[in-house]
Structure 1
Amino acid sequence: MSTPEHGLARIDATDDPASARPHAPSSPLLICEHCDTVHRNHALARGETMRCVRCGALLARYHVLNAGGMLALVLTALIVFLIANVWPVVTLGLGSQQSSATLWGIILKMWGQGAPIVAVIAAATLFFFPLNKMLMLGWVLFFARDGRRAPGFASIMKSLYYLQPWTMSEVFVLGAIVSIVKAHAYFDVQPDPGIWAYGVLMLLITVFSGIDLRSLWDMTEPDQ
């Protein structure tokens, strides 16, 4: 491990900060999690990010949303997630016959046709991981609105960090679009509300990915 040292973090501006009111830093120091370099914290304006002077890793970014705004996004995502899993994803028609399938119908079909590993991976990355991520994030944000840390805050934050790369709704949406285009040559294909809901969910999860969860440590104080 390298020896920590004090330094001024490099600030990258991607927008005009002159018209934005900078956020005051809640902690005087920032430590790079990649090289352990200690930096002096700075207020960030709209569009700015703070990077390590030694390795260039992202230390902090400006956030427009507060904890209440983030919680509203999480609740919206949970509603969309419910729609995506209740409504059919696609309807296939051949002559007078039609067949609709939900996400769980597809997963159970794969399980029954001898592909249990694929079924388990699909269930984990498309249902259990995203659901747990939204529930845990909603839990910590519910308390963060009042500047408090939720029970189990540290463990939840670690879990959110490891779950970050395992929510693959965007992969499912892109794969479904490709499959619908190819199946259209043989069947009458009708996209159902489930696939549109997954498209919206993909956008919301992309927004979540842009949120620096480390800022929740500075937004909240442990209960005394």
Structure 2
Amino acid sequence: MTAPLMICEHCDTVYRRRELACGEVARCVRCDAVLERHHRWSAGAMLALVLTALVVFVQANIWPIVTLGLNGQLVSARLWDTILMMWNDHSQIVAVLAAATLFFIPLGKMLLLGWVLLFARRGERAPGFRLAMVILHHIKPWTMSEVFVLGALVAIVKAHVYFDVIPNPGIFAYAVMMLLITVFAGIDLRRLWDMTAERTA
């Protein structure tokens, strides 16, 4: 049986694929780009990770992120409180970008990935598999939860000079989200093409 082929996305060099050992990385000999990494996650394990991320995502959006206190008055803010405040303060572009990168794109990515993995557990390709994989590829750089967490931590430190600042569970949920996204970044989703087969009618 002929070994499957893979193509370098940067210089179009064609290689025959082989199974990688744990920790091994395949690189292009022509341009040194990463072709693929060892894939140690099964479809079931990835689905469990997606479901965990969804639970944490819901918590991050329900719970307040931070509470500010001044002269005995306390004000708590959630993500959408902040987005609506920016919208009402004539910063609509920033509000739309924040809503897209912190809510809609991460949610869409998790739902799409969960849909694909639900069928991949059985070695099948989900309905709309090709379109889902294309969308997942294009929205990958637009998940900005880690940037938000770092920015929020810097803002909390600076605001502490003027207010009593109390971090709320929402910011910790976003921190967990950041860790899960980091784990996702190390998973080569392209292997789903090899792990699944076209559904038969």
Q: Shorter-normalised TM-score: what interval?
A: over 0.9
User: Per the alignment, do residues 27 and 142 of structure 1 end up closer, same or farther by CA in structure 2, a change over 3 Å counting?
Assistant: farther
Partner of 2:30: 54
Partner of 2:85: 109
**Amino acid in structure 2 at the alignment position of 1:218:** D
Cα deviation code 1:18-41 (max 9, x no counterpart): xxxxxxxx9532222222211121
Partner of 1:177: 153
Q: Determine which of 83, 86, 94 is the counterpart of 2:62.
A: 86
* 1:95 CA drift (Å): 2.0
Looking at structure 1, the residues matched to 157 and 3 of structure 2 have their Cα atoms a distance apart, in angstroms, of 52
Partner of 2:39: 63
* 1:55 CA drift (Å): 1.5
* 1:59 CA drift (Å): 1.3
Q: Which runs of 5+ in 2 are unaligned?
A: none
**Amino acid in structure 2 at the alignment position of 1:49:** V
Contact 1:52–1:58 under 8 Å retained in 2: yes
Contact 2:3–2:18 under 8 Å retained in 1: no
- Of structures 1 and 2, the one scoring higher in RCO (CA 8 A, sep 6+) is 2
Q: CA RMSD in A?
A: 1.1
If the length of structure 2 is used for normalisation, what is the TM-score?
0.96
Looking at structure 1, the residues matched to 91 and 14 of structure 2 have their Cα atoms a distance apart, in angstroms, of 49
Contact 1:27–1:218 under 8 Å retained in 2: no
Structure 2 SS opposite 1:214 = helix
Looking at structure 2, the residues matched to 42 and 170 of structure 1 have their Cα atoms a distance apart, in angstroms, of 34
Q: Number of paired residues?
A: 199
Looking at structure 2, the residues matched to 93 and 154 of structure 1 have their Cα atoms a distance apart, in angstroms, of 50
Partner of 2:180: 204
Aligned: 1:129 with 2:105: yes
Structure 1 SS opposite 2:189 = coil
Structure 1 SS opposite 2:40 = coil
Looking at structure 2, the residues matched to 65 and 71 of structure 1 have their Cα atoms a distance apart, in angstroms, of 10
* 1:83 CA drift (Å): 0.3
Contact 1:147–1:220 under 8 Å retained in 2: yes
Partner of 2:129: 153
Q: Which runs of 5+ in 1 are unaligned?
A: 1-25
Richer in helix (by share): 2
**Amino acid in structure 1 at the alignment position of 2:42:** N
Partner of 2:141: 165
Max radius of gyration: which structure? 1
Aligned: 1:75 with 2:51: yes
Cα deviation code 1:187-206 (max 9, x no counterpart): 11000000000000011011
Structure 2 SS opposite 1:93 = strand
If the length of structure 1 is used for normalisation, what is the TM-score?
0.87
